[in-house]
Chains A and B, each alone.
Chain A
Amino acid sequence: MDDLYREVILEHYKNPVHKGELDAHNHDFEDENPLCGDFIHMDLQVDENGIIRNAVFSGHGCAISQASADLLLESIIGKPVDEVQHMSTQDVLDLLGIDDLGPVRLKCALLPLKVVKSALYGIEKDE
Protein backbone atom coordinates (compact mmCIF):
# COMPACT_ATOMS: atom_id res chain seq x y z
CA MET A 1 0.00 0.00 0.00
CA ASP A 2 3.05 2.27 0.19
CA ASP A 3 2.77 2.94 -3.51
CA LEU A 4 -0.89 3.85 -3.25
CA TYR A 5 0.03 7.46 -2.71
CA ARG A 6 1.94 7.83 -5.95
CA GLU A 7 2.78 11.22 -7.36
CA VAL A 8 -0.15 11.34 -9.78
CA ILE A 9 -2.75 10.86 -7.06
CA LEU A 10 -1.20 13.41 -4.72
CA GLU A 11 -0.76 15.90 -7.54
CA HIS A 12 -4.41 15.66 -8.62
CA TYR A 13 -5.50 15.84 -4.98
CA LYS A 14 -3.43 18.94 -4.22
CA ASN A 15 -3.85 20.72 -7.54
CA PRO A 16 -7.01 19.52 -9.23
CA VAL A 17 -7.48 20.72 -12.80
CA HIS A 18 -11.22 20.22 -13.09
CA LYS A 19 -12.41 21.51 -9.75
CA GLY A 20 -14.94 24.32 -9.67
CA GLU A 21 -18.43 25.20 -10.79
CA LEU A 22 -19.87 25.36 -14.28
CA ASP A 23 -22.73 27.79 -14.91
CA ALA A 24 -23.32 26.44 -18.41
CA HIS A 25 -24.00 22.86 -17.31
CA ASN A 26 -27.06 20.87 -18.34
CA HIS A 27 -26.52 17.85 -16.09
CA ASP A 28 -25.44 17.63 -12.47
CA PHE A 29 -25.48 15.20 -9.59
CA GLU A 30 -23.95 14.77 -6.17
CA ASP A 31 -23.43 11.89 -3.79
CA GLU A 32 -21.45 10.97 -0.71
CA ASN A 33 -19.93 8.04 1.12
CA PRO A 34 -21.43 8.71 4.53
CA LEU A 35 -19.04 6.23 6.12
CA CYS A 36 -15.97 8.29 5.31
CA GLY A 37 -17.41 11.70 4.55
CA ASP A 38 -16.34 11.79 0.90
CA PHE A 39 -18.58 14.17 -1.03
CA ILE A 40 -18.60 14.84 -4.77
CA HIS A 41 -20.72 17.23 -6.82
CA MET A 42 -20.41 17.32 -10.60
CA ASP A 43 -21.59 19.74 -13.29
CA LEU A 44 -21.52 18.41 -16.84
CA GLN A 45 -22.17 20.08 -20.16
CA VAL A 46 -23.32 17.66 -22.84
CA ASP A 47 -23.89 18.83 -26.42
CA GLU A 48 -26.68 17.80 -28.82
CA ASN A 49 -24.54 14.99 -30.20
CA GLY A 50 -24.17 13.43 -26.78
CA ILE A 51 -20.56 14.50 -26.37
CA ILE A 52 -19.33 15.70 -22.96
CA ARG A 53 -18.03 19.17 -23.72
CA ASN A 54 -17.05 20.25 -20.26
CA ALA A 55 -17.20 18.89 -16.72
CA VAL A 56 -16.13 20.07 -13.28
CA PHE A 57 -16.42 18.72 -9.76
CA SER A 58 -16.53 20.12 -6.27
CA GLY A 59 -16.44 18.37 -2.93
CA HIS A 60 -14.23 17.13 -0.18
CA GLY A 61 -12.85 13.86 1.08
CA CYS A 62 -9.83 11.61 0.96
CA ALA A 63 -7.06 11.88 -1.61
CA ILE A 64 -8.29 8.79 -3.44
CA SER A 65 -11.84 10.09 -3.96
CA GLN A 66 -10.78 13.60 -4.97
CA ALA A 67 -7.95 12.50 -7.27
CA SER A 68 -10.25 9.92 -8.82
CA ALA A 69 -12.77 12.69 -9.60
CA ASP A 70 -10.16 14.89 -11.26
CA LEU A 71 -8.62 12.05 -13.28
CA LEU A 72 -12.03 10.78 -14.32
CA LEU A 73 -13.16 14.16 -15.61
CA GLU A 74 -9.89 14.58 -17.47
CA SER A 75 -10.56 11.30 -19.24
CA ILE A 76 -14.24 11.84 -20.12
CA ILE A 77 -14.19 15.37 -21.51
CA GLY A 78 -14.68 15.05 -25.26
CA LYS A 79 -16.07 11.54 -25.01
CA PRO A 80 -19.58 10.39 -25.93
CA VAL A 81 -21.97 9.80 -23.03
CA ASP A 82 -22.53 6.24 -24.13
CA GLU A 83 -18.87 5.39 -23.70
CA VAL A 84 -18.71 6.92 -20.22
CA GLN A 85 -21.78 5.00 -19.14
CA HIS A 86 -19.93 1.80 -19.89
CA MET A 87 -16.82 2.63 -17.85
CA SER A 88 -15.90 -0.04 -15.31
CA THR A 89 -14.20 -0.33 -11.94
CA GLN A 90 -11.06 -1.42 -13.75
CA ASP A 91 -11.11 1.73 -15.88
CA VAL A 92 -11.04 3.85 -12.71
CA LEU A 93 -8.23 1.80 -11.17
CA ASP A 94 -6.28 2.19 -14.43
CA LEU A 95 -6.74 5.96 -14.29
CA LEU A 96 -5.44 5.98 -10.73
CA GLY A 97 -2.63 3.60 -11.64
CA ILE A 98 -3.59 1.22 -8.83
CA ASP A 99 -3.65 -2.57 -9.15
CA ASP A 100 -5.58 -3.41 -6.08
CA LEU A 101 -7.57 -1.54 -3.47
CA GLY A 102 -9.26 -2.81 -0.32
CA PRO A 103 -13.09 -2.83 -0.30
CA VAL A 104 -13.39 0.29 1.87
CA ARG A 105 -11.06 2.38 -0.29
CA LEU A 106 -12.60 1.06 -3.49
CA LYS A 107 -15.78 2.92 -2.55
CA CYS A 108 -13.74 6.13 -2.32
CA ALA A 109 -12.21 5.54 -5.76
CA LEU A 110 -15.55 4.71 -7.38
CA LEU A 111 -17.68 7.52 -5.95
CA PRO A 112 -16.84 9.95 -8.81
CA LEU A 113 -17.77 7.42 -11.49
CA LYS A 114 -21.02 6.73 -9.66
CA VAL A 115 -21.80 10.46 -9.63
CA VAL A 116 -20.97 10.88 -13.33
CA LYS A 117 -23.11 7.91 -14.32
CA SER A 118 -25.99 9.19 -12.20
CA ALA A 119 -25.69 12.66 -13.74
CA LEU A 120 -25.81 11.15 -17.21
CA TYR A 121 -28.52 8.63 -16.40
CA GLY A 122 -31.24 8.40 -19.06
CA ILE A 123 -29.56 10.90 -21.31
CA GLU A 124 -29.63 8.79 -24.47
CA LYS A 125 -33.40 8.54 -24.40
CA ASP A 126 -33.74 12.29 -24.00
CA GLU A 127 -31.62 13.30 -26.92
Chain B
Amino acid sequence: MLDAHLLRRDFPIFQRKIHGKKNLVYLDSAASSQKPQIVLDAMDKLYAHSYANIHRGIHELAEEATALYENSRQKIAAFIHVGDPAQLIFTRNTTESINLVAMAWGRKFLKEGDRILLTEMEHHSNLVPWYILAAEKGIQIDFTPVGEQGFLDQDRFQELLKRSPRLVAFTHMSNVLGVINPVQEMTQRAHQAGAVVLVDGAQSVPHFPVSVEMLNADFYAFSAHKMCGPTGIGILYGKRSLLEAMDPFMGGGDMIKKVTFEGFIPNEIPYKFEAGTPAIAEAIGFGAAVDYLNNVGMQAIHDHERQITRYAWNCLNKVRGLRILGPSAEERGGVISFELEGIHPHDVSQILDSQGIAVRAGHHCAMPLHQKLNVPASTRASFYLYNTFEDVDALVEGIQTVQKVFGSIGK
Protein backbone atom coordinates (compact mmCIF):
# COMPACT_ATOMS: atom_id res chain seq x y z
CA MET B 1 0.00 0.00 0.00
CA LEU B 2 1.16 3.47 -0.85
CA ASP B 3 2.03 5.94 1.92
CA ALA B 4 0.94 9.35 0.66
CA HIS B 5 2.40 11.14 3.70
CA LEU B 6 5.80 9.72 2.80
CA LEU B 7 5.45 10.48 -0.92
CA ARG B 8 4.58 14.12 -0.21
CA ARG B 9 8.18 14.61 0.94
CA ASP B 10 9.28 13.95 -2.65
CA PHE B 11 7.36 17.05 -3.79
CA PRO B 12 9.03 20.31 -2.75
CA ILE B 13 5.85 22.34 -3.34
CA PHE B 14 4.24 20.88 -0.23
CA GLN B 15 6.75 22.78 1.88
CA ARG B 16 5.31 26.14 0.92
CA LYS B 17 2.47 27.98 2.62
CA ILE B 18 -0.53 29.43 0.84
CA HIS B 19 -1.35 33.09 1.57
CA GLY B 20 1.63 33.03 3.87
CA LYS B 21 0.22 30.67 6.49
CA LYS B 22 -1.98 27.85 5.21
CA ASN B 23 -0.77 24.34 4.36
CA LEU B 24 -1.31 23.47 0.73
CA VAL B 25 -4.23 21.14 0.06
CA TYR B 26 -3.76 20.45 -3.63
CA LEU B 27 -6.88 19.00 -5.22
CA ASP B 28 -6.33 20.12 -8.80
CA SER B 29 -4.15 17.36 -10.25
CA ALA B 30 -6.60 16.69 -13.08
CA ALA B 31 -5.63 20.14 -14.38
CA SER B 32 -1.93 19.60 -13.73
CA SER B 33 0.01 17.56 -11.19
CA GLN B 34 2.83 18.65 -8.90
CA LYS B 35 6.41 17.54 -9.61
CA PRO B 36 8.73 15.37 -7.51
CA GLN B 37 12.30 16.54 -6.93
CA ILE B 38 13.79 13.76 -9.07
CA VAL B 39 12.02 15.12 -12.16
CA LEU B 40 13.41 18.60 -11.49
CA ASP B 41 16.85 17.08 -10.88
CA ALA B 42 16.81 15.11 -14.12
CA MET B 43 16.25 18.30 -16.11
CA ASP B 44 18.79 20.29 -14.10
CA LYS B 45 21.34 17.54 -14.54
CA LEU B 46 20.91 17.56 -18.30
CA TYR B 47 21.48 21.31 -18.51
CA ALA B 48 24.38 21.24 -16.05
CA HIS B 49 26.11 18.15 -17.37
CA SER B 50 25.05 16.81 -20.78
CA TYR B 51 23.26 19.53 -22.68
CA ALA B 52 23.52 19.91 -26.45
CA ASN B 53 21.13 19.68 -29.37
CA ILE B 54 20.09 16.16 -30.28
CA HIS B 55 20.31 13.99 -33.40
CA ARG B 56 22.85 16.26 -35.08
CA GLY B 57 26.15 16.96 -33.35
CA ILE B 58 28.98 14.49 -33.48
CA HIS B 59 30.42 15.24 -30.09
CA GLU B 60 30.13 13.76 -26.63
CA LEU B 61 27.46 16.15 -25.32
CA ALA B 62 25.23 15.74 -28.36
CA GLU B 63 25.54 11.99 -28.10
CA GLU B 64 24.72 11.98 -24.40
CA ALA B 65 21.72 14.29 -24.80
CA THR B 66 20.45 12.23 -27.74
CA ALA B 67 20.80 9.00 -25.77
CA LEU B 68 18.92 10.48 -22.81
CA TYR B 69 16.15 11.80 -25.06
CA GLU B 70 15.71 8.49 -26.86
CA ASN B 71 15.99 6.56 -23.62
CA SER B 72 13.06 8.59 -22.36
CA ARG B 73 10.99 7.59 -25.37
CA GLN B 74 11.78 3.95 -24.65
CA LYS B 75 10.77 4.30 -20.99
CA ILE B 76 7.46 5.90 -21.92
CA ALA B 77 6.78 3.23 -24.55
CA ALA B 78 7.37 0.51 -21.96
CA PHE B 79 5.17 2.41 -19.48
CA ILE B 80 2.16 2.22 -21.81
CA HIS B 81 3.11 -1.27 -23.02
CA VAL B 82 4.08 -0.40 -26.56
CA GLY B 83 6.79 -2.63 -28.07
CA ASP B 84 8.11 -0.27 -30.74
CA PRO B 85 9.13 3.16 -29.36
CA ALA B 86 9.22 4.62 -32.89
CA GLN B 87 5.43 4.70 -32.65
CA LEU B 88 5.68 7.37 -29.94
CA ILE B 89 5.92 10.95 -31.16
CA PHE B 90 6.96 13.67 -28.75
CA THR B 91 4.49 16.57 -28.92
CA ARG B 92 3.83 19.53 -26.63
CA ASN B 93 0.81 17.95 -24.94
CA THR B 94 -2.40 15.97 -25.51
CA THR B 95 -3.91 18.91 -27.37
CA GLU B 96 -1.06 19.03 -29.87
CA SER B 97 -1.18 15.24 -30.25
CA ILE B 98 -4.85 15.38 -31.26
CA ASN B 99 -4.25 18.35 -33.55
CA LEU B 100 -1.43 16.39 -35.17
CA VAL B 101 -3.84 13.58 -36.05
CA ALA B 102 -6.48 16.03 -37.29
CA MET B 103 -3.99 17.85 -39.50
CA ALA B 104 -1.64 15.09 -40.65
CA TRP B 105 -4.11 12.20 -40.88
CA GLY B 106 -7.50 13.90 -41.18
CA ARG B 107 -6.46 16.37 -43.86
CA LYS B 108 -4.97 13.65 -46.01
CA PHE B 109 -7.48 10.85 -45.61
CA LEU B 110 -10.86 12.45 -44.90
CA LYS B 111 -13.01 14.02 -47.58
CA GLU B 112 -16.26 15.90 -47.93
CA GLY B 113 -19.27 14.00 -46.63
CA ASP B 114 -17.21 11.75 -44.33
CA ARG B 115 -18.33 11.41 -40.72
CA ILE B 116 -16.50 11.59 -37.40
CA LEU B 117 -17.96 10.18 -34.18
CA LEU B 118 -17.09 11.97 -30.94
CA THR B 119 -18.84 11.93 -27.54
CA GLU B 120 -20.64 14.52 -25.44
CA MET B 121 -18.09 14.19 -22.62
CA GLU B 122 -15.03 15.34 -24.54
CA HIS B 123 -12.59 17.99 -23.43
CA HIS B 124 -12.34 20.94 -25.82
CA SER B 125 -9.02 19.49 -27.04
CA ASN B 126 -10.89 16.53 -28.52
CA LEU B 127 -13.61 18.71 -30.02
CA VAL B 128 -12.14 21.86 -31.50
CA PRO B 129 -9.45 20.22 -33.72
CA TRP B 130 -12.26 18.19 -35.32
CA TYR B 131 -14.49 21.27 -35.67
CA ILE B 132 -11.66 23.01 -37.51
CA LEU B 133 -11.14 20.00 -39.78
CA ALA B 134 -14.89 19.58 -40.33
CA ALA B 135 -15.27 23.21 -41.43
CA GLU B 136 -12.31 22.88 -43.77
CA LYS B 137 -13.34 19.60 -45.40
CA GLY B 138 -17.13 19.52 -45.07
CA ILE B 139 -17.19 16.65 -42.59
CA GLN B 140 -20.21 15.70 -40.44
CA ILE B 141 -19.72 15.17 -36.70
CA ASP B 142 -21.90 12.91 -34.54
CA PHE B 143 -21.83 12.72 -30.74
CA THR B 144 -22.42 9.66 -28.60
CA PRO B 145 -24.71 10.98 -25.84
CA VAL B 146 -23.96 10.95 -22.14
CA GLY B 147 -26.80 9.07 -20.46
CA GLU B 148 -27.96 8.35 -16.94
CA GLN B 149 -25.26 8.59 -14.26
CA GLY B 150 -22.90 10.16 -16.77
CA PHE B 151 -22.00 7.01 -18.70
CA LEU B 152 -21.84 6.98 -22.47
CA ASP B 153 -24.95 5.53 -24.06
CA GLN B 154 -23.43 2.40 -25.59
CA ASP B 155 -26.59 1.53 -27.53
CA ARG B 156 -26.50 4.92 -29.21
CA PHE B 157 -22.78 4.45 -29.83
CA GLN B 158 -23.56 1.22 -31.68
CA GLU B 159 -26.32 2.97 -33.64
CA LEU B 160 -24.08 5.87 -34.61
CA LEU B 161 -21.38 3.45 -35.79
CA LYS B 162 -23.85 2.35 -38.48
CA ARG B 163 -23.34 5.75 -40.09
CA SER B 164 -19.83 4.49 -40.92
CA PRO B 165 -17.67 7.17 -39.31
CA ARG B 166 -14.12 7.25 -40.65
CA LEU B 167 -12.81 8.24 -37.22
CA VAL B 168 -14.08 7.56 -33.72
CA ALA B 169 -12.47 9.70 -31.00
CA PHE B 170 -13.27 9.58 -27.30
CA THR B 171 -11.72 10.07 -23.91
CA HIS B 172 -10.45 7.21 -21.77
CA MET B 173 -11.63 9.01 -18.64
CA SER B 174 -13.86 12.08 -18.32
CA ASN B 175 -12.12 15.01 -16.63
CA VAL B 176 -15.49 16.19 -15.25
CA LEU B 177 -17.51 13.07 -14.40
CA GLY B 178 -14.63 10.72 -13.63
CA VAL B 179 -16.31 8.10 -15.82
CA ILE B 180 -13.84 5.56 -17.22
CA ASN B 181 -14.96 4.42 -20.65
CA PRO B 182 -14.71 0.78 -21.82
CA VAL B 183 -12.00 1.62 -24.34
CA GLN B 184 -11.21 -1.90 -25.45
CA GLU B 185 -14.83 -2.78 -26.27
CA MET B 186 -15.55 0.57 -27.90
CA THR B 187 -12.39 0.31 -29.98
CA GLN B 188 -13.29 -3.19 -31.11
CA ARG B 189 -16.78 -2.11 -32.15
CA ALA B 190 -15.45 0.96 -33.92
CA HIS B 191 -12.93 -1.20 -35.80
CA GLN B 192 -15.72 -3.57 -36.84
CA ALA B 193 -17.47 -0.52 -38.29
CA GLY B 194 -14.30 0.31 -40.22
CA ALA B 195 -13.25 3.38 -38.24
CA VAL B 196 -9.86 4.57 -37.06
CA VAL B 197 -9.86 5.10 -33.27
CA LEU B 198 -8.25 7.91 -31.32
CA VAL B 199 -8.27 7.84 -27.52
CA ASP B 200 -7.61 10.86 -25.31
CA GLY B 201 -5.56 9.42 -22.46
CA ALA B 202 -4.83 12.66 -20.60
CA GLN B 203 -6.73 11.54 -17.49
CA SER B 204 -5.99 7.81 -17.66
CA VAL B 205 -2.25 7.24 -18.19
CA PRO B 206 -1.35 9.28 -15.06
CA HIS B 207 -3.73 7.34 -12.82
CA PHE B 208 -3.90 3.65 -13.67
CA PRO B 209 -2.00 1.03 -15.68
CA VAL B 210 -2.71 1.42 -19.40
CA SER B 211 -1.71 -1.04 -22.10
CA VAL B 212 -2.19 0.78 -25.36
CA GLU B 213 -1.50 -2.32 -27.45
CA MET B 214 -4.08 -4.32 -25.52
CA LEU B 215 -6.66 -1.56 -25.96
CA ASN B 216 -5.77 -1.68 -29.65
CA ALA B 217 -6.38 2.05 -30.19
CA ASP B 218 -4.94 3.42 -33.42
CA PHE B 219 -3.95 6.72 -31.82
CA TYR B 220 -3.49 7.42 -28.11
CA ALA B 221 -2.62 10.86 -26.69
CA PHE B 222 -1.44 12.07 -23.28
CA SER B 223 0.61 14.77 -21.50
CA ALA B 224 3.55 14.64 -19.10
CA HIS B 225 2.39 17.51 -16.89
CA LYS B 226 -0.57 15.59 -15.50
CA MET B 227 1.69 12.68 -14.47
CA CYS B 228 4.42 14.30 -12.38
CA GLY B 229 6.33 15.42 -15.46
CA PRO B 230 7.10 18.87 -16.84
CA THR B 231 4.89 21.05 -19.03
CA GLY B 232 5.54 21.36 -22.75
CA ILE B 233 5.91 17.66 -23.49
CA GLY B 234 3.37 15.02 -24.44
CA ILE B 235 2.99 11.89 -26.51
CA LEU B 236 1.09 10.81 -29.54
CA TYR B 237 1.12 7.05 -29.99
CA GLY B 238 0.13 5.91 -33.46
CA LYS B 239 0.21 2.55 -35.17
CA ARG B 240 3.22 2.34 -37.46
CA SER B 241 1.21 1.75 -40.63
CA LEU B 242 -0.91 4.87 -39.98
CA LEU B 243 2.03 7.07 -39.03
CA GLU B 244 3.97 6.00 -42.11
CA ALA B 245 1.03 6.75 -44.40
CA MET B 246 0.57 10.23 -42.94
CA ASP B 247 2.21 13.36 -44.28
CA PRO B 248 4.36 15.48 -41.95
CA PHE B 249 2.60 17.78 -39.49
CA MET B 250 5.17 20.59 -39.51
CA GLY B 251 8.19 21.17 -41.68
CA GLY B 252 11.70 22.00 -40.51
CA GLY B 253 14.87 20.46 -39.21
CA ASP B 254 15.02 16.85 -38.01
CA MET B 255 11.85 15.83 -39.83
CA ILE B 256 13.62 15.41 -43.16
CA LYS B 257 15.80 12.79 -44.70
CA LYS B 258 16.92 15.01 -47.54
CA VAL B 259 16.24 18.55 -48.75
CA THR B 260 17.07 19.87 -52.23
CA PHE B 261 16.06 22.98 -54.19
CA GLU B 262 13.32 20.85 -55.68
CA GLY B 263 11.80 19.61 -52.45
CA PHE B 264 12.31 17.24 -49.52
CA ILE B 265 12.07 13.62 -48.49
CA PRO B 266 10.60 13.16 -45.01
CA ASN B 267 12.45 11.30 -42.29
CA GLU B 268 11.42 7.97 -40.78
CA ILE B 269 8.92 7.87 -37.91
CA PRO B 270 8.89 9.21 -35.26
CA TYR B 271 11.25 11.97 -36.47
CA LYS B 272 8.98 12.78 -39.41
CA PHE B 273 6.66 14.42 -36.90
CA GLU B 274 9.26 16.08 -34.67
CA ALA B 275 10.25 19.17 -36.63
CA GLY B 276 12.74 21.56 -35.05
CA THR B 277 14.61 21.32 -31.77
CA PRO B 278 12.20 19.62 -29.38
CA ALA B 279 11.70 20.13 -25.64
CA ILE B 280 14.79 18.04 -24.84
CA ALA B 281 14.99 18.63 -21.09
CA GLU B 282 11.24 18.17 -20.74
CA ALA B 283 11.35 14.87 -22.63
CA ILE B 284 14.06 13.70 -20.23
CA GLY B 285 12.03 14.97 -17.28
CA PHE B 286 9.11 12.97 -18.65
CA GLY B 287 11.27 9.85 -18.54
CA ALA B 288 12.18 10.60 -14.92
CA ALA B 289 8.48 11.02 -14.08
CA VAL B 290 7.77 7.61 -15.57
CA ASP B 291 10.59 6.13 -13.46
CA TYR B 292 9.07 7.76 -10.39
CA LEU B 293 5.56 6.44 -11.11
CA ASN B 294 6.95 2.97 -11.83
CA ASN B 295 8.77 2.99 -8.51
CA VAL B 296 5.58 3.83 -6.65
CA GLY B 297 3.63 1.43 -8.85
CA MET B 298 0.68 2.34 -11.06
CA GLN B 299 -1.60 -0.25 -9.49
CA ALA B 300 -0.76 1.12 -6.03
CA ILE B 301 -1.50 4.65 -7.24
CA HIS B 302 -4.82 3.52 -8.66
CA ASP B 303 -5.76 1.66 -5.46
CA HIS B 304 -4.82 4.68 -3.34
CA GLU B 305 -6.89 7.04 -5.50
CA ARG B 306 -9.86 4.68 -5.30
CA GLN B 307 -9.67 4.76 -1.49
CA ILE B 308 -9.42 8.54 -1.38
CA THR B 309 -12.17 8.95 -3.96
CA ARG B 310 -14.50 6.59 -2.11
CA TYR B 311 -13.86 8.45 1.15
CA ALA B 312 -14.35 11.86 -0.49
CA TRP B 313 -17.50 10.76 -2.30
CA ASN B 314 -19.06 9.53 0.94
CA CYS B 315 -18.09 12.69 2.87
CA LEU B 316 -19.21 15.09 0.14
CA ASN B 317 -22.43 13.22 -0.47
CA LYS B 318 -23.44 13.95 3.13
CA VAL B 319 -22.99 17.71 2.77
CA ARG B 320 -26.40 19.38 2.58
CA GLY B 321 -27.03 21.25 -0.65
CA LEU B 322 -24.13 19.52 -2.42
CA ARG B 323 -24.77 17.53 -5.58
CA ILE B 324 -22.09 15.31 -7.13
CA LEU B 325 -22.06 15.07 -10.93
CA GLY B 326 -21.63 11.60 -12.40
CA PRO B 327 -21.60 8.07 -11.04
CA SER B 328 -20.89 6.44 -7.68
CA ALA B 329 -17.41 6.26 -6.16
CA GLU B 330 -17.00 2.67 -7.34
CA GLU B 331 -17.48 3.59 -10.97
CA ARG B 332 -15.16 6.57 -11.38
CA GLY B 333 -11.58 7.70 -11.35
CA GLY B 334 -10.14 10.22 -8.88
CA VAL B 335 -12.23 13.19 -9.95
CA ILE B 336 -15.33 14.58 -8.20
CA SER B 337 -17.17 17.55 -9.69
CA PHE B 338 -20.03 19.00 -7.70
CA GLU B 339 -22.54 21.81 -7.42
CA LEU B 340 -23.25 23.67 -4.19
CA GLU B 341 -26.80 24.95 -4.05
CA GLY B 342 -27.03 28.73 -4.37
CA ILE B 343 -23.27 29.30 -4.52
CA HIS B 344 -21.33 29.77 -7.72
CA PRO B 345 -18.20 27.58 -8.17
CA HIS B 346 -16.00 30.67 -8.43
CA ASP B 347 -17.13 31.77 -5.01
CA VAL B 348 -16.60 28.24 -3.67
CA SER B 349 -13.11 28.08 -5.14
CA GLN B 350 -12.15 31.54 -3.91
CA ILE B 351 -13.19 30.86 -0.31
CA LEU B 352 -11.50 27.43 -0.39
CA ASP B 353 -8.35 29.12 -1.66
CA SER B 354 -8.33 31.41 1.36
CA GLN B 355 -7.97 28.19 3.39
CA GLY B 356 -5.11 26.87 1.24
CA ILE B 357 -7.31 24.47 -0.72
CA ALA B 358 -6.77 24.41 -4.49
CA VAL B 359 -9.69 23.11 -6.58
CA ARG B 360 -10.87 23.86 -10.09
CA ALA B 361 -13.96 25.97 -10.74
CA GLY B 362 -15.70 26.50 -14.05
CA HIS B 363 -16.47 24.18 -16.93
CA HIS B 364 -13.11 22.37 -16.91
CA CYS B 365 -12.71 22.81 -20.68
CA ALA B 366 -15.88 20.80 -21.25
CA MET B 367 -18.51 23.44 -22.01
CA PRO B 368 -20.75 21.21 -24.16
CA LEU B 369 -20.88 18.59 -21.40
CA HIS B 370 -21.91 21.19 -18.82
CA GLN B 371 -24.55 22.38 -21.25
CA LYS B 372 -25.82 18.82 -21.58
CA LEU B 373 -25.90 18.36 -17.80
CA ASN B 374 -27.65 21.74 -17.55
CA VAL B 375 -25.03 22.98 -15.11
CA PRO B 376 -23.45 26.37 -15.92
CA ALA B 377 -20.27 25.50 -14.04
CA SER B 378 -19.04 23.15 -11.35
CA THR B 379 -16.35 22.83 -8.69
CA ARG B 380 -13.94 19.94 -9.14
CA ALA B 381 -11.70 18.19 -6.63
CA SER B 382 -9.22 15.75 -8.17
CA PHE B 383 -6.86 13.38 -6.42
CA TYR B 384 -3.42 11.92 -7.00
CA LEU B 385 -0.80 9.83 -5.26
CA TYR B 386 0.14 12.60 -2.81
CA ASN B 387 -3.39 13.27 -1.53
CA THR B 388 -4.42 12.08 1.92
CA PHE B 389 -7.61 11.54 3.87
CA GLU B 390 -6.71 14.74 5.73
CA ASP B 391 -6.90 16.62 2.41
CA VAL B 392 -10.46 15.38 2.00
CA ASP B 393 -11.32 16.39 5.58
CA ALA B 394 -9.93 19.86 4.86
CA LEU B 395 -12.08 20.08 1.72
CA VAL B 396 -15.24 19.11 3.57
CA GLU B 397 -14.52 21.60 6.36
CA GLY B 398 -13.71 24.19 3.73
CA ILE B 399 -17.06 23.66 2.02
CA GLN B 400 -18.81 24.07 5.36
CA THR B 401 -16.98 27.37 5.78
CA VAL B 402 -18.16 28.43 2.31
CA GLN B 403 -21.73 27.67 3.32
CA LYS B 404 -21.26 29.60 6.55
CA VAL B 405 -19.95 32.66 4.68
CA PHE B 406 -22.98 32.54 2.42
CA GLY B 407 -25.32 32.16 5.37
CA SER B 408 -28.57 30.32 4.91
CA ILE B 409 -28.45 30.30 1.11
CA GLY B 410 -29.65 27.03 -0.29
CA LYS B 411 -30.94 25.66 2.96
Contact = CB atoms under 8 A, between A and B. Distances in A.
Contacts, number: 53
Contacts of A62: 344-347
Interface stretch (A2-10, A20-28, A44-52): A2-10
B360 to A, nearest CB: 12
A37 B377 contact: yes
Given A1-B354, A5-B405, A10-B406, A34 B367 contact: yes
Given A2-B354, A10-B405, A10-B407, A36 B377 contact: yes
B376 interface: yes
Contacts of B406: 5, 10, 14, 63
Nearest to A1: B354
A1 B344 contact: no
Interface of A: 1-2, 4-5, 10, 14, 34-39, 60-64, 104-105, 108
Which 3 residue pairs across A and B have the least CB separation, nearest first? A37-B376, A62-B344, A62-B346
Question: Which applies to chain B's interface (DSSP): helix, strand, loop or mixed?
Answer: mixed
A96 to B, nearest CB: 13
B362 A4 contact: no
A108 B405 contact: no
Interface size class of B (residues with CB under 8 A): 20 to 34
Contact of A36 (B344, B353, B405, B407): B344
A36 B346 contact: yes
B351 A35 contact: no
B347 A36 contact: no
B19 interface: yes
Nearest to B342: A14
Contacts of B350: 1, 4-5, 105
Contact of A5 (B347, B361, B377): B347
B380 interface: no
B344 A61 contact: yes
Given A37-B377, A62-B347, 7 more contacts: A4-B354, A35-B363, A36-B346, A37-B363, A61-B344, A63-B406, A64-B347
B315 interface: no
Contacts of B363: 35, 37
B346 A64 contact: yes
Interface in B270-291: none
B354 A36 contact: no
B404 to A, nearest CB: 10
Contact of A1 (B19, B367, B377): B19
B132 interface: no
A39 to B, nearest CB: 8
A56 B332 CA distance: 44
A45 B344 CA distance: 30
A93 to B, nearest CB: 16
Contacts of B409: 14
